[in-house]
Amino acid sequence: MAKNGEKPWLQLQELIAGKEVSTIMAFLDDMSPTETALTISRLTPADQGQLLGLLTPLDAAEVIEDIHETQAAEIIDDLPPVQAAAILGELDSDHVVDLLAEMDEKDAEAILEEMAPEEAREARQFLEYPADTAGGLMVSEYLSYHAENRISDVLADLQANRETYVDYHVQYIYVTDDQKKLVGVLRMHDLLFPSHAALLRKVMISNPLKVKIDASLEELRNFFEEHQLFGVPVVDEHDVLLGVVLPEAVQEATRKKSVHQFLGVSGIVGGEEFRSMPLLVRSTRRLSWLSLNIVLNVVAASVIAFYQDTLAAAITLAVFLPMISDMSGCSGNQAVAVSMRELSLGLIRPNELVRVLAKEASLGIINGICLGILLGGAAYLWKGNIYLGLVVGGALAVNTVVAVALGGLLPLILKRLKTDPALVSSPLLTTVTDMCGFFLVLGMATAMLQKLG
Amino acid sequence: MAKNGEKPWLQLQELIAGKEVSTIMAFLDDMSPTETALTISRLTPADQGQLLGLLTPLDAAEVIEDIHETQAAEIIDDLPPVQAAAILGELDSDHVVDLLAEMDEKDAEAILEEMAPEEAREARQFLEYPADTAGGLMVSEYLSYHAENRISDVLADLQANRETYVDYHVQYIYVTDDQKKLVGVLRMHDLLFPSHAALLRKVMISNPLKVKIDASLEELRNFFEEHQLFGVPVVDEHDVLLGVVLPEAVQEATRKKSVHQFLGVSGIVGGEEFRSMPLLVRSTRRLSWLSLNIVLNVVAASVIAFYQDTLAAAITLAVFLPMISDMSGCSGNQAVAVSMRELSLGLIRPNELVRVLAKEASLGIINGICLGILLGGAAYLWKGNIYLGLVVGGALAVNTVVAVALGGLLPLILKRLKTDPALVSSPLLTTVTDMCGFFLVLGMATAMLQKLG
């Protein structure tokens, strides 16, 4: 908690300028992780760099742990590679990989070159694994011993390396053979009772539960739902032990995925955006999505341009075009959200197009009729022209069916095409429903133009 | 894993019809939780009820644990209250409360009346606590003993109630005084080393870490980020021990919140929607949000109606109105998403309107100019009329600034008004930006009408 004032970052800024290292540490220790994240994010990049330079790598690593990954990667990216490598040396392996993955390849390589050779080799290897698989989620901080070791060997090693092991979150001891293949597991407290002279292979639980290196996030989620364990060992196709996935990592990855969905449908693409980022980066990233959108909009609007004469003859219709565009988009996006949710829960399979079509089309017909009557009724009441009501209401009704059905199907189709539904569904949907909606209104109007005038 | 066929629910349906209880259990045991959730969700409500009726309450509870809360609540709601109460008796207290909270108050009350009096009393009490607080997230399945108990008393109790305690996820033993106030804590393995005759108050860790019953989700998240613990005791204002919050519950609640955000911005309100729900329920819930939206649309479109004469004189503008509406909505929604994300991470405080305004307005000016030039240029090239380009481009540029600034501010303002930004931001934003955009285009066009013709 900041002792006084509303803006702890101003206080911290002064402390950094005064290079008051011990006061800085006391100041940061007093804050909750959220407050630390807020305070650090409000410093200038120069101050952020100076702050981490003043702290020991271990203290700097603790600060980095409180900050959101994207922001942490930026700060570390700006440090001299030697200093960055020293700080990364104090973090868990999965955190190191996440941070390096956020950077340019060139910058990450510069830091890797300054890291301890073994750590760098491991990080390079971990960077190869896809993010949402066991390989991408595992840590290398676990304990493993050869099956021919005695309990006394393990206890001696635990004593000797106490300081390194104290940060390991893993609650088990894994047992391997000559080829580093996983053959057994022990819980920590299993070490307490047997004779210290016992061989690990005698006291271990054989054939332990494990997952393959390419296990998907869903498989891992299922694993931890079925087994109340504090970690699962990860092996390659030859059963060689490669790492351990902690249940926290699985939950965190699941959470990240739903944040990503939320940001994607809102048009924030290419990674998270923070207002502390440089203005031009934020602006360019948002524009990249908007410019695609403007092209799609031009395509959709070309339908209106095509029917310009009809519109000139029945100008009242112009009032309804943006409404039909917006309402159809909303109806379709509801269906997109339900499909994406069911996909992420595993309640629908990407090939069940017929089921989704049946479910959404029937809903679309009901909602289409309701909305069509509402809007068509409003149009009729406004101008006293029943044909206007029919055109507007009829077009909205039919277009709602199209939008809802298409919205329900798109995420499944995109998933089968290995495209991210969060990013693509909505722009694609609104373009098609806009074109179709404009075509319905203006096409019907053209057919009964003399009745509308 | 289903042994054969693509549709395990058809197989299960047959087994239910044949009342083959042991085959059913083997069939379900073979499936991952995701597969169980999918399979159960595809049964008819009648089959679901029959299935749970065939299983023992304990087996039924295991099935219920694999299913999404909303769906589980529906299934249980349809059971006879006696049977529902028996199944709930086998679930963790926080799960029971979550399920009851999803039901109508009357249905929940009917089930509560059939539950064991102590369990029902506790569930009623837990239902009072707001969902995203320590009270709403805690479980009552924890171990606590009086400080004057000896270790031998605890060990005897653990032996005697082994079967009950085996499902408790709590790794600690809490120590209380005569008034049930929390005075200490012990890790399980702390029981192993001291003399069995030792009093708990002699061996416990005094003044344990704890949280107040009204601690927020953010406070709990911070707590578990700072302390690597497997649970935190929850106390009232007099330090009386009321329950324990597990870190999993905090992560789950955080995840739920971001799912809720995603569904909210997509117009799925009033709880999650599954395609297994009755058509009319799904349709009505979606319509409730759409009908509000249609009213807002009418309001926005009234600006076009007001300028109908201008539009008739320069019909080309009708092509651009839906585009300006859509583009401004997209720009604004990006800013909404960034604000909601920063709010949820604690990187922005709801009162920092000036900071957000400054950050978004500057971005809005850059993006407005870019998009304005794009769209204005396209308009000019299409019709060869520079004034058309100026009107269309200028309107989009100015409206982008409005949309981006308003989009950034709305979530903060709604948060201060204790309204849910996920549900309200987007419809409110698009109504204002539509009105403003239409007004800008048609107002400017009216001013230079003779140059547009």
- Residue written as tokens 């993006």? B367
Residue B390 Cα, gap to closest chain A Cα (Å): 17
Q: CB–CB of A140/A126 below 8 Å?
A: yes
B226, B266, B340: residue with CB nearest A265: B266
Question: Chain A residue closest to B276 (CA)?
Answer: A359
CA A369/CA A334 separation, integer angstroms = 17
CA-nearest of B37, B82, B329, B449 to A346 is: B37
Could you tell me if residue B393 is left (phi over 0), alpha (psi between -120 and 50 degrees) or otherwise beta?
alpha
pLDDT at residue number B92: 87
User: B333: which 2 tokens?
Assistant: 């929604």
CB pair distance less than 8 Å for A38 and B293: no
Q: How high is the mean pLDDT of chain A?
A: 91
Torsion of CA A45, A47, A49, A53, to 10 degrees: 180
pTM, two decimals, is 0.87
pLDDT at residue number A4: 47
CA A308/CA A170 separation, integer angstroms = 68
CB pair distance less than 8 Å for A333 and B293: no
CA-nearest of A431, A433, A407, A409 to A324 is: A433
A211-212, strands of its sheet edge to edge = A211-212, A232-235, A241-245
CA A291/CA A48 separation, integer angstroms = 34
Residue B220 DSSP SS3: helix
Q: How far is CA B369 from its chain centroid?
A: 37
pLDDT at residue number B5: 56
Q: Which of residues 260-279 of B touch A (CB under 8 A)?
A: 261-263, 265-268, 272-276, 279
Neighbouring C-alpha atoms within 13 Å toward the C-beta of B66: 23
Q: Is the pLDDT of residue A79 over 70?
A: yes
Q: Is the pLDDT of residue A453 over 70?
A: no
Q: Which of residues 312-371 of B touch A (CB under 8 A)?
A: 312, 315-316, 318-323, 325-327, 329-331, 333-334, 336-338, 340-342, 345-349, 355-356, 359, 362-363, 366-367, 370-371
Q: How many CB atoms lie within 10 A of CB A121?
A: 12
Domains in chain B (CATH in brackets) are 8-128 (1.25.60.10), 143-263 (3.10.580.10), 279-452 (1.10.357.20)
CA B234/CA B181 separation, integer angstroms = 11
A254 touches chain B (CB under 8 A): yes
Question: Chain B residue closest to A348 (CA)?
Answer: B38
B301 touches chain A (CB under 8 A): yes
B298, B308, B356: residue with CB nearest A378: B298
Q: How many CB atoms lie within 10 A of CB B167?
A: 11
pLDDT at residue number A1: 42
A301 touches chain B (CB under 8 A): yes
Question: Chain B residue closest to A303 (CA)?
Answer: B319
Q: CB–CB of B341/A272 below 8 Å?
A: yes
Burial (CB count <10 Å: 0-12, 13-18, 19+), residue B391: buried
CA B119/CA B112 separation, integer angstroms = 9
Q: How many CB atoms lie within 10 A of CB A65?
A: 16
CA A42/CA A29 separation, integer angstroms = 18
Helix crossing, B421-447 with B279-306: angle to 10°? Answer: 20
Q: How many CB atoms lie within 10 A of CB A427?
A: 19
CA B162/CA B166 separation, integer angstroms = 6
Which are the contacts of B217, defined by CB distance < 8 A and separation ≥ 6? B132, B133, B137, B250, B253, B254, B257
A205-206, strands of its sheet edge to edge = A143-146, A172-176, A182-187, A205-206
Q: How many CB atoms lie within 10 A of CB B148?
A: 12
Question: Chain B residue closest to A360 (CA)?
Answer: B275
pLDDT at residue number B7: 86
Q: Is the pLDDT of residue A189 over 80?
A: no
Show residues of chain A in contact with B189, CB under 8 Å.
189, 192
User: A334: which 2 tokens?
Assistant: 């509801």
Q: Is the pLDDT of residue A6 over 60?
A: yes
- Residue written as tokens 């007093």? A30
Q: How many CB atoms lie within 10 A of CB A448?
A: 14
CA A310/CA A304 separation, integer angstroms = 9
- Give the pLDDT band (50/70/90) at residue A228: confident
Q: Which of residues 397-436 of B touch A (CB under 8 A)?
A: 430, 434
Q: Which of residues 181-240 of B touch A (CB under 8 A)?
A: 189, 192, 218-219, 221-222, 225-226, 228
Backbone angles phi, psi at B303, to 5 degrees: -65, -40
Q: Is the pLDDT of residue A294 over 50?
A: yes
b/e map A256-275, b = 16+ CB within 10 Å: bbbbbbbbbbbbbbeebbbb
b/e map B192-203, b = 16+ CB within 10 Å: eeeeeeebbeeb
pLDDT at residue number B261: 86
A285 touches chain B (CB under 8 A): no
Neighbouring C-alpha atoms within 13 Å toward the C-beta of B189: 7
Show residues of chain A in contact with B340, CB under 8 Å.
262
Helix crossing, A21-29 with A8-17: angle to 10°? Answer: 160
Show residues of chain B in contact with A359, CB under 8 Å.
275, 279
> pLDDT tens track of chain B, all 453 residues?
444 457 899 999 999 999 989 999 999 998 988 899 999 999 999 999 999 999 999 999 999 999 999 999 999 999 999 999 999 999 988 899 999 999 999 999 999 999 999 999 999 999 999 988 999 999 988 999 999 999 999 988 988 888 788 777 778 999 999 999 999 999 877 777 788 899 999 999 999 999 999 999 989 998 998 888 889 999 999 999 999 999 989 988 988 888 888 898 889 988 889 998 899 999 999 999 999 999 999 999 999 999 999 999 999 999 999 999 999 999 999 999 999 999 988 899 999 999 999 999 999 999 999 999 999 999 999 999 999 999 999 999 999 999 999 999 999 999 999 888 888 898 999 999 999 999 999 999 999 998 886
CB pair distance less than 8 Å for B262 and A267: no
CA A229/CA A226 separation, integer angstroms = 9
Q: How large is the average pLDDT for residues A91-103?
A: 91
b/e map B399-433, b = 16+ CB within 10 Å: bbbbbbbbbbbbbbbbbeeeeebbbbbbbbbbbbb
pLDDT at residue number B368: 97
